[in-house]
Structure 1
Amino acid sequence: MENITENVTENIAANCSIDHRIHQTLSPVVYIFVFVVGLPANCLSLYFGYLQIKAKNELGIYLCNLTIADLFYIFSLPFWLQYVLQHDNWTYDELLCKICGTLLYENIYISVGFLCCICVDRYLAVVYPFRFHQFRTMKAAMVVSAIIWTKEMLTSWFVFQHGEVSKDSESHMVCFEHYPIKSWEHSVNYYRFFAGFLFPFFLLLFSYCGILQVVRKSHGTQKKKKVQIKRLVSSTVVIFLVCFGPYHILLVVRSLLEHSCVFAEKIFNVYHFSLLLTTFNCVADPVLYCFSSENTYQFFFKMGDSCLKWLRCLRIETMESYQLNTPETLRKNRAPAEQEEPGLLNKL
C-alpha cells in the first residue's frame, strides 16, 4: 500500500507546474552576498577560535566546529548558484546533489547545536562559576562536539536512503525538492522542528534569561558592560528566531497541509524565502560570537589604528614633498643666487 501511495505522489509531483522565479531573482543575490562576506568572516572566526583553543578555552572548540560547519556550506554555494541560474536544473550526478543538500541542512542543525553549547557554557560560567567545572573542560567540549556531528550524520544517512534527484513538469532535474512532500518526509520534518529547533530555542532562552538575571543583580559589573551583554544576548535570540524560525514553522505547515500541487504552488515562494534566511546564519555566527568579543574588538582597533598612522605618515610625506616643489620654495632657493648676481656684475 505504501509503495502505491509513493508512486501516486511521484506522479503528482511530476505534474506540478511551479513558478521558480524566486530562484532566478533573489537566490543568486543572497548566495553571492553570503559567499563574499561569509568566507573571509568565517576564516577570521576560525583563526580566533584557534587562538582560544591555544589558550585552553573550551569555547574555542565550539566556535571552530560552528565555523567549520558554516564553511562547508559556503563552499557548496557555487553549486547551488549554478543550479538556480540554470532554472533549477541539476547537471551534476545524484551523489553531489546529496552532498550539497546534506551540507545545506546539516549546517542549520549543527549550527543550532553549537550555538546551544556556547550559550549553555556561558550560562554555567556566569550562573554557577564554581560548580559543574567538569562540563567546562576541553575534553568535555570535544566529546560533545563528536556527539553533535555523529547525530547529524546519522540523520543524513537516513535521508540518503531515498533518491534526491527527480524530474519536474518541465523535465528539469531538481535536487532536494519534492512537491508535494513525500510520506517519509513528514516524520523527518517533525523531528527537525521539535529536536532541531523548538528544544534548542527554549534551551537558549532559558540560559540567556539566567545570564541576564545574574548580570542585572551584579553590582561589580560596569553599566557599559551590562549593556553590551544585554545587546549580545538579545541579538542572539533575535537572529536565532529570524534565521531559523520561519523555516521550521513552514516545515510543520507543509507536513500538515501539503497534500496537493495547489498548496505546494501557494507556499513555494514563502518557503524558499525562509530557506534563504537560514543562509544568513553563516554571516551572523562570526559577527556575534567572534567579532563581538572584547579581545577581537581590541585587535581590530589596533589594526585600524596602525592603518590610520600609516596613512597619516604617508600624507605628511606627500605634503612635504609637495611643499619642496612649490613655486615659493623655488623662489626661496633662488633668492641667495639672485642676491649674489649684483656683486658679480660689479666685479665684472
Structure 2
Amino acid sequence: MGNITVDNLSSNCTIDHTIHQTLAPVIYVLVLVVGFPANCLSLYYGYLQVKAKNELGVYLCNLTVADLLYICSLPFWLQYVLQHDDWPHGDLSCKICGILLYENIYISVGFLCCISIDRYLAVAHPFRFHQFRTVKAAAGVSVVIWVKELLAGAVFFRNSEVVEDKDRHRVCFEHYPIEAWQRKINYYRFSVGFLFPICLLFFSYWGILRAVQRSHGTQKNRKDQIQRLVLSTMIIFLACFLPYHVLLVVRNLWEVNCEFAKGIFNIYHFSLLLTSFNCVADPVLYCFVSENTHKDLARLRNSCFGFLTCSGKTGSKESYPLSSPEASGKNEARREEPELLTKLRPPCPVASPPGTGGTGQEC
C-alpha cells in the first residue's frame, strides 16, 4: 500500500463510496465500449475536414483527442472503483488521471464553444469574418485553449492527491470537506471554464435559430429539422455539464464540515459521472454540426454496399461521383443559406432486371 506521511492523511471524513462500486463501473465500461470507437471514427472525419482545409476539422480533431485522452484514463479509474476506492498506483499517475478527468470537461466545453461560433458565422454571416474561419486561425485558438487548461491543471501538481482515509484506503483526487485552495480553482472553473463559454455557445445557437427562421427559401420541415438538432445539441450539453457545475458551486459555498460532504457525496459524484457521457455525445454533436459528415458516411456506406453487391461483377466501377472534400468544405461559406444537414445519397447501383439488356442505374 505504500508509506503515507501524516501530511497525506485525510482524517476529516470517512464517506460511504458505494456509488463508486455500483454505478461508476457500468458507466465507465459503457463509455469505453461506445466512446472509443465512436471517437476514433470522429477523429478520422475530423482529419478529412482538416485535409480539405476546413477550419471546423481543427476543432473537431482537438475535441476528439481530448475525449480519447480521457477515455484512455478510464481503465485506471475502473480499477480504482472496483478495488473499493483504493488507488493502486503512485501519486503522479493519480494526478495525471485526475487532470485528464477534470480538464477534459473544460477543453471539451472550449472546443464545443468554438464549433458553435464557427457554425453561427457560417450560417448567419456567410460572407463576412472569413479571417476568423481559416485553418490557421482555428489552430491558434486551439493552442490557446490547450495552454489555458494545462496551466489550470498544473496547480494540482503542487498538492498531494493520493491521501489515506480512516479505512486505510488510498483515495485519489478526493478531499472532504473541500480545501481552501480548491475553492479558488473551482470558482475559476465555473466562471471561466463553464459560464462564459456556455453563454457564447447559447448565443451562437440562438443566432443560428434566428437565421433559419428568417430564411424564406427553406422549407418548413427543413427548418424544423435544423431546430430539433440545435435544441438537441444544447440539451445534451446541459445534461452533461450543468448538474456538475451547479453542485460544484454548492460545495464551494456550503461544504465546511464532514456532515455536509457526506450528504452531497452521492449526487455530486453522479453529476460527475454524467460528464463522462460527453465523450459519447461529442461524436453525435459532430454529426449535428458538420454538413460533410453525412456525405462521408454515405460514401463509406455506398462503398461497403457496393462491394457486397457488386464484387462478383468483373470490371465494375463506382457508379456514384465522389465530390471533392475541399470543394464541399469551402463552398459552404459562399452559400447564401448553408444547410446543417444533407440528404444521404441512394446506396449503390441498382441492377437491371434480367433480360432487359440494361447495365444498371447509377445512384
Shift of 1:121: 0.9
Tell me which of 116, 120, 125 is aligned to 1:123: 120
Correspondence for 1:343:
none
CA contact (8 A) 1:62 1:118 kept: yes
2:231 aligned with 1:248: no
C-alpha distance in 1 between matches for 2:295 and 2:49: 15
CA shift, 1:295, in A, is 3.4
Contact kept in structure 2, 1:48 and 1:290, CA below 8 Å: no
**1:199 paired residue number:** 196
- State the shift of 1:289 in Å: 1.1
Please tell me the residue identity of whatever aligns with 2:202: L
Asked whether the equivalents of residues 12 and 177 of structure 2 are also in contact (C-alpha less than 8 Å), the reply is no
Match of 1:62 among 54, 59, 65: 59
1:280 to partner: Cα distance: 0.2
Give the residue type in structure 2 aligned to 1:55: A
Q: Following TM superposition, by how much is the alpha carbon of 1:194 offset from its aligned partner in structure 2, in angstroms?
A: 1.1
Percent same amino acid among aligned pairs? 67
State the SS of the aligned residue for 2:11: helix
Report the Cα distance in structure 2 between the residues aligned to 1:304 and 1:136, rounded to whole angstroms. Answer: 30
**C-alpha spacing 1:303/1:54, structure 2 compared with 1 (3 Å):** closer
**Quick check: 1:135 aligned with 2:135?**
no
Aligned equivalents of 1:73, 1:137: Cα separation in 2: 28
What's the counterpart of residue 293 of structure 2? 296
Aligned twin of 1:166 = 163
Q: 1-side partners of 2:128 and 2:292: how far apart?
A: 26
Match of 1:317 in 2: none
- Is it true that 1:81 corresponds to 2:105 in the alignment? no
Name which of 92, 99, 106 aligns with 2:96: 99
Which has the larger share of helix? Answer: 1
Aligned to 2:149, which of 139, 143, 152? Answer: 152
The question of 1:34 aligning with 2:38 is answered no
Whether the aligned pair in 2 keeps the contact of 1:291 and 1:297 (CA below 8 Å) is no
* TM-superposition CA deviations, 1:302-346 (whole Å, max 9, x none): 5445656777789xxxxxxxxxxxxxxxxxxxxxxxxxxxxxxxx
Q: CA deviation at 1:17?
A: 2.0
Match of 1:235 among 232, 245, 250: 232
Q: Deviations over 1:183-202 (max 9, x none)?
A: 11111111111111111111
Q: Displacement of 1:294 after TM fit?
A: 4.5
Gaps of 5+ in 2: 1-5, 312-363
Deviation at residue 300 of structure 1 after TM alignment:
3.5
Q: Which amino acid aligns with 2:122?
A: A
- CA deviation after TM superposition for structure 1 residue 296, in Å: 2.7
Distance 1:294 1:147, change over 3 A: closer
Query: If the length of structure 1 is used for normalisation, what is the TM-score?
Result: 0.83
The alignment status of 1:266 with 2:241, answered yes or no, reads no
Answering whether residue 39 of structure 2 is matched by residue 48 of structure 1, we say: no
Task: Decide which structure has the larger Cα Rg and report it.
Answer: 1
Q: Normalising by structure 2, report the TM-score.
A: 0.80
* Deviation per residue, 1:210-266 (Å, 9 max, x gap): 111011111122334322321221111111111000000111100111111101111
Instruction: Verify: 1:112 aligned to 2:106, yes or no.
Output: no
Q: How many residues align?
A: 306
User: Separation in 1 of the partners of 2:51 and 2:298?
Assistant: 22
Quick one: which amino acid aligns to residue 165 of structure 1?
A: V
What amino acid maps onto 2:175 in structure 1? H
Q: Distance in 2 between matches of 1:88 and 1:102?
A: 18
Residue 53 of structure 2 aligns to a residue whose secondary structure is coil
Quick one: which amino acid aligns to residue 71 of structure 2?
I
SS state of the match for residue 166, structure 1? strand
Quote how far apart the aligned CAs of 1:290 are. 3.1
Q: Distance in 2 between matches of 1:95 and 1:249?
A: 29
